[in-house]
Structure 1
Amino acid sequence: MNLVPMADILQDAHQKTYAVGGFNINNMEFLQGIMMGAEELNSPVILQASEGAIRYIGMDYVMQMVEAATKNTEIPVALHLDHGSDFESIMKCIRAGFSSVMIDASKLPFAENIALTKKVVEAAHNVGVSVEAELGTIGGTEDDHTVAEKDAMYTDPDQAKEFIEATGVDALAIAIGTAHGVYEGEPELDFERLDKIKKLIEMPVVLHGASGISAADLKTGVKYGVNKVNVNTDFQQVFTAKVKEIFTEKPKLYDPRKYCGPGREAIAAKVKEKIKILGSDNQAW
């Protein structure tokens, strides 16, 4: 399997001021659509699997599908655990062959977040695996984890600097006004906060909850230093919309290839759209 550490991909993005998509796998069609779009535009890509997706697909299936998708590719690909909740689940992914993991201890007090993140970093770095962590709390729903809007907290720039110096993480997910899932209103992103954080930590910054964020805001985020942008809901929506469209036109259709195939194509088109917005097209080395 030709996977690379996510840190290698993001350091290039950090140095050249562009962002790479962290695109979530939900099934085989999602994986195929993501790879089709990324390969067509010669873009590096970060394939992400959440704990919920791993439970749904099965770890062995995840690894075998990713191996099939990457064995002949010429673009840099990382396989990343999205929102790892504890040390044990992260170790399972590392042992399985993930090249990157995320420890999301943002719900813990600051000192405890540092302690758990540092423990993960030490274990992962020993075997060449990259680590993403989160500081600040992003609202919305990600798999089984929901954060109410009133409980969401923006990332403090000074704490961000202290956090990365104490943990040695490769990338930091920050909260500047995005949310997981579907937005109920127009999100307002705190770009001034992003700018302060980026200048203080001078390392790859991650934006979660990017589905539903306008192209203009995403481009502004990249301008101010975002290097990884997570997208999942947008792909789920275009896939489902295409399947619904097909069943409206052909209600008696029963062959899954006749609707999953077009759904896959819809994902590939949306992947290309995101890649162009983030500026990672033709950045594969």
Structure 2
Amino acid sequence: MPLAATGELVARTAQAGTTDARPPHPRTAVAAFNVITLEHIEAVIAGAESAGAPVVLQVSENAVKFRHGRLLPLARAATAAAERASVPVALHLDHVQSDGLLRQAPGAGFSSVMYDASHLPYEENLAATRAAADWAHAQGLWIEAELGEIGGKNGEPPRDAHAPGARTDPMEARGFVADSGVDALAVAIGSSHAMTTRTAALDHDLLKRLSASLGVPLVLHGSSGVPDEELRAAVRGGIAKVNIGTALNLAMTGAIREFLTASPEAVDSRKYLGVGREAMARTVERLIGVLRG
């Protein structure tokens, strides 16, 4: 089927979670998985098809750097795979700091982008994000931004939404969303990027206040380190999009390591990449199930 639009997938899940029907439908969230290789792409789609759920394929700026700075090869592979999927699949450009990369998004098939200026002081973050949002909206893109903890206190620099200990202030976030014009906001409530253990404890009281204060979907980054029950509670509390990356790499690397330990003579990369792809697909299916309650 044709590529889906990230914004439409998020809006659809939000509507499902706020229906007035009795009993109410459980809240749910869109699962968004970061992909690095073709095996990642195939695994995410296979897992989503097994779960019978839409999914977002995310390509980060770091993944583009890994691919020698070229966006199109991975984007075209993702598009080709998505168009053959039996579930809706959208493409999202993640953690973009380069304006040059941002401007490649529409032509590469992306319907959405996460523009990350959170490393800048608040006013500079706001100005850069506002400019990015204006440009993105003119191109028909849905845009997500990030607001962690504003710096300036005691000379401290700003901390992004997933720096240890960072927390998003609801009133600051409300002003940022209104003044920047973004469509979604990644918030700091206790998760961290690249966690290899699932030990993160989320601030659910803060999430409730953010959800009540903001009129846009909230996004949870660093979700690989969040236990299942915490993820379910976050979705019930208002998270509409859940970003997952490290969990796939853990599954892939673990499966490949186990295969090569058992078969040290193996040299055919299809053998170990295949078991890695299967492990990632199982992880995708399981985590989508968690987000659906």
Structure 1 residues 161 and 40 mapped into 2: Cα distance closer, same or farther (>3 Å)? same
CA distance in 1, matches of 2:86, 2:161: 41
CA distance in 2, matches of 1:275, 1:221: 14
- Name the counterpart of 1:34: 44
Q: Please list, as runs of the form range in 1=range in 2, the aligned pairs for 1:217-232 lying within 5 A after superposition.
A: 217-232=230-245
CA RMSD of aligned residues (A): 2.2
CA distance in 2, matches of 1:44, 1:148: 26
- Name the counterpart of 1:11: 11
- Name the counterpart of 1:233: 246
TM-score relative to the length of structure 2 = 0.87
Contact preservation (8 Å) 2:31, 2:244? yes
Contact preservation (8 Å) 2:252, 2:280? yes
- Is the counterpart of residue 92 in structure 1 residue 113 in structure 2? no
Q: 1:24 aligns with which of 22, 25, 34?
A: 34
Per the TM alignment, residue 91 of structure 1 is displaced from its structure 2 partner at its CA by 1.0
- Name the counterpart of 2:140: 128
Report the number of matched residues: 273
Contact preservation (8 Å) 1:7, 1:171? no
- Name the counterpart of 2:123: 111
Structure 1 residues 241 and 183 mapped into 2: Cα distance closer, same or farther (>3 Å)? closer
Q: 2:59 aligns with which of 49, 63, 71?
A: 49
Q: Which has the larger displacement, 87-96 or 45-54?
A: 87-96
Q: Which has the larger displacement, 11-20 or 27-36?
A: 11-20
Contact preservation (8 Å) 1:104, 1:134? yes
Per the TM alignment, residue 121 of structure 1 is displaced from its structure 2 partner at its CA by 1.1
Per the TM alignment, residue 183 of structure 1 is displaced from its structure 2 partner at its CA by 5.2
Per the TM alignment, residue 111 of structure 1 is displaced from its structure 2 partner at its CA by 1.8
Structure with larger RCO (C-alpha < 8 A, sep 6+)? 1
- Look up the equivalent residue of 1:202 and give its one-letter code: G
Q: Secondary structure at the match of 1:179?
A: coil
Q: Secondary structure at the match of 2:105?
A: helix
Unmatched runs of 5 consecutive residues or more in structure 2: 18-26, 151-158
- Look up the equivalent residue of 1:245 and give its one-letter code: E
Per the TM alignment, residue 187 of structure 1 is displaced from its structure 2 partner at its CA by 2.1
CA distance in 1, matches of 2:42, 2:205: 37
Per the TM alignment, residue 137 of structure 1 is displaced from its structure 2 partner at its CA by 5.2
Q: Secondary structure at the match of 1:92?
A: coil
CA distance in 2, matches of 1:121, 1:236: 31
Q: Please list, as runs of the form range in 1=range in 2, the aligned pairs for 1:61-72 lying within 5 A after superposition.
A: 61-72=73-84
- Percent of aligned positions with the same letter in both sequences? 38
CA distance in 2, matches of 1:55, 1:242: 25
- Name the counterpart of 1:248: 261
- Look up the equivalent residue of 2:233 and give its one-letter code: T
CA distance in 1, matches of 2:108, 2:84: 20
Structure 1 residues 126 and 74 mapped into 2: Cα distance closer, same or farther (>3 Å)? farther
Per the TM alignment, residue 175 of structure 1 is displaced from its structure 2 partner at its CA by 0.4
Contact preservation (8 Å) 2:200, 2:227? no
- Is the counterpart of residue 210 in structure 1 residue 223 in structure 2? yes
Contact preservation (8 Å) 1:137, 1:152? no
Q: Secondary structure at the match of 1:261?
A: helix
CA distance in 2, matches of 1:149, 1:213: 12
Contact preservation (8 Å) 2:161, 2:168? no
CA distance in 2, matches of 1:177, 1:237: 21
Structure 1 residues 118 and 26 mapped into 2: Cα distance closer, same or farther (>3 Å)? same
TM-score relative to the length of structure 1 = 0.90
CA distance in 1, matches of 2:149, 2:40: 27
Contact preservation (8 Å) 2:57, 2:91? yes
- Name the counterpart of 2:187: 174
Q: Please list, as runs of the form range in 1=range in 2, the aligned pairs for 1:120-199 lying within 5 A after superposition.
A: 120-136=132-148, 153-182=166-195, 186-199=199-212
